[in-house]
A = this chain, B = another copy of it.
C-alpha cells in the first residue's frame, strides 16, 4: 500500500479564500479521542483535506491520520479505541499547495530527551525559510514541507530544561500567525501569537479542559465556553488546572477580521462577538451604505445567507432563495470537456428560475476573490430572466494576499488588486456593485471606526497593512536557496 497524493481541491471552489487549519485539544477525559473527533468535525469548515489525532495514555502516544474528512477517518470504534488515553490533540487541514501527502498531515510528533511532544498548528509563519536554513546547517533533518516542523525542531534544540521554556524559546524565534495546541506526557499547552491573528479558545466540561479554534467545537461535545486564549498567551493545562504565561507581555492583538466575515462558523463566538450577529450587522450596514431599489434579496449560498438576512431586514425587501445549492458536490467532480465547461458553475448552484424571472434582485455575497464565480452567478441570474442584478459584498475589496494561514492568490490575480469598483462591476456584468466600507465593517464588529494608527484587527487583505514583518517574502524576492524535500517523494500511484 502506498501513500496517495490526492487532488482534493474542488475546482469549483477555487474562487473562495480558504482557512488552512483548525486545532483541538482535550485534557483529562476518559474519552479524549472520541471528543477530539467530534470537536474536529465541528471545525471541519477550517480544513477538509486531511486530519489527525494523537492521544496519550500515560505510557504511550497513539495516533491516526488520514486524507479527507474527519467523519471518513474517525468513523469506527476500532480507530477511536486504539487512540487510548485521557488527553488528545487533533488537527484538520486545508493545504495551500495542489497536492497533499500524508507526511504533511498534522499533528506532528517528536521524541525529546524529556519525552514525546505532539503539536498542531493553525496559521502561517513568515520567517520559516530563514529559521529552517539555520536549523539544517546545524544538522536538523526535516521530514515535511510544513512550517510547523520548524517549531518542533526549535523545541528540540533548545537548551532550556522544561517543555514550557523550550516552547517559549522557540516562539521567540518565529514570526507570523499561529494558534498552537501541544500535548506532552503531563500537559496540554495552547499558544496564540502576539497578534492573536488566528482564534483559539478555552472550554470546560466538568473537570476537563478543552482548547479549540472556535467555540462551536465546545457545543458539539456539550462543553462550556470559558474564554478566548489571549494574544501572546501560553496556556498550560495539567493535573493542577490551568496556568497562563505571557512571554511577550500584555498584547492588544489584531484578530483576523475575515474570520468574522467568512471563515468562522456563524454559531461561533469569538472575542465576545457572535459571528452570526456580526454578519447580519454587516448586511444591515451594507443596506444602509449601498441601498438600491429591488424586488428581492438573494443570498449566494451558503455563506451569503446571514448578511442577506441582515440586508433584507434593514432594507425591508423580501429575502428569497433565488439560487439553490447542490449539497452533493463531492471533493472531485467530472472534469468537463471544452464543450460543456461553461456549465461548471451549475454543478453547485442553480437559479431558482420561477422566483427570479422578471425580478430586480440584490445578490449578497461575502467577498470577491478572482471574480470568476461572481461573473458566472450574475450571468446565471440574467439567463434565468432577472430584470436587474445588483451585487452587494459584505467585505471591503480583497486587494492583498494573506500570509497568515489563508490561501489567497497573489495580488495580480485578485480582481480588486487590478481594478476599481466600476471596472469590477463591468467585469462581472452586474447592474451595480458595492462593497461595505472599511469603517462600515469596523462598525459592524462594534468599533466606532478603524484606528488607522493602531488598527484593532488584521485587515491586511483589504488594506495591505501587515501586522508583522514578512521575511520569507523578502528573502524570496532576493532569491535565497530553498531546501526542499524530494519531488513526488512517497507519492503513490
A binding-site residues for B, Cβ under 8 Å? 1-4, 6, 31, 34-35, 37-38, 41-42, 44-45, 48, 54, 60-80, 82, 102, 109-113, 116, 118, 136-143, 152-153, 156-158, 216, 219-222, 265-267, 269, 274, 276-277, 302, 305-306, 309, 313, 318-321, 324, 326-337, 339-340, 342-343, 346-347, 350-355, 483-493
- Cβ contacts under 8 Å, A274 to chain B: 352, 354-355
Contact between A136 and B109 (Cβ–Cβ < 8 Å)?
Answer: no
Contact between A334 and B488 (Cβ–Cβ < 8 Å)?
Answer: no
Contact between A302 and B276 (Cβ–Cβ < 8 Å)?
Answer: no
Contact of A113 among B4, B73, B136 (CB under 8 A): B136
A–B pairs, 26, beta carbons within 8 Å:
A2-B102, A3-B65, A34-B334, A41-B329, A41-B334, A41-B347, A61-B489, A63-B486, A64-B488, A70-B328, A71-B334, A75-B333, A75-B335, A76-B334, A77-B337, A110-B142, A111-B136, A111-B485, A113-B136, A219-B346, A219-B350, A267-B351, A276-B324, A276-B355, A277-B354, A309-B321
Of A62, A142, A334, most buried by chain B (CB within 10 Å of CB) is: A334
Q: How far is the CA of A340 from the CA of B42 in the complex (A)?
A: 15
Contact of A343 among B137, B221, B330 (CB under 8 A): B221
Contact between B111 and A347 (Cβ–Cβ < 8 Å)?
Answer: no
CB distance from A457 to the nearest CB of B (A): 20
Contact of A62 among B318, B486, B493 (CB under 8 A): B486
Contact between A140 and B140 (Cβ–Cβ < 8 Å)?
Answer: yes
CB distance from A163 to the nearest CB of B (A): 14
Contact between B484 and A111 (Cβ–Cβ < 8 Å)?
Answer: yes
Q: How far is the CA of A351 from the CA of B234 in the complex (A)?
A: 30
- Cβ contacts under 8 Å, A328 to chain B: 41, 44-45, 48, 69-71
Contact of A34 among B319, B337, B354 (CB under 8 A): B337
Contact between A488 and B82 (Cβ–Cβ < 8 Å)?
Answer: yes
**Closest B residue by C-beta to A155:** B139
Contact between B485 and A333 (Cβ–Cβ < 8 Å)?
Answer: no
Contact between B60 and A486 (Cβ–Cβ < 8 Å)?
Answer: yes
Given contacts A2-B73, A61-B485, A216-B350, 6 further A-B contacts (CB under 8 A): A41-B333, A45-B328, A76-B335, A102-B490, A109-B486, A267-B353
- Cβ contacts under 8 Å, A72 to chain B: 330-332
Q: How far is the CA of A80 from the CA of B65 in the complex (A)?
A: 28
Q: How far is the CA of A77 from the CA of B340 in the complex (A)?
A: 13
**Closest B residue by C-beta to A77:** B335
CB distance from A199 to the nearest CB of B (A): 16
Contact between A488 and B2 (Cβ–Cβ < 8 Å)?
Answer: no
- Cβ contacts under 8 Å, A118 to chain B: 486
- Cβ contacts under 8 Å, A143 to chain B: 143
- Cβ contacts under 8 Å, A6 to chain B: 1
Q: Do A340 and B41 contact each other (CB < 8 Å), given the known contacts A332-B71, A486-B62?
A: no
Contact between A65 and B490 (Cβ–Cβ < 8 Å)?
Answer: yes
Contact between A139 and B156 (Cβ–Cβ < 8 Å)?
Answer: yes
- Cβ contacts under 8 Å, A319 to chain B: 309, 319
- Cβ contacts under 8 Å, A485 to chain B: 61, 109, 111
Contact between B340 and A221 (Cβ–Cβ < 8 Å)?
Answer: yes
CB distance from A219 to the nearest CB of B (A): 5
- Cβ contacts under 8 Å, A487 to chain B: 60-62
Contact of A351 among B54, B140, B219 (CB under 8 A): B219
Contact between A340 and B35 (Cβ–Cβ < 8 Å)?
Answer: yes
Contact between A54 and B221 (Cβ–Cβ < 8 Å)?
Answer: no
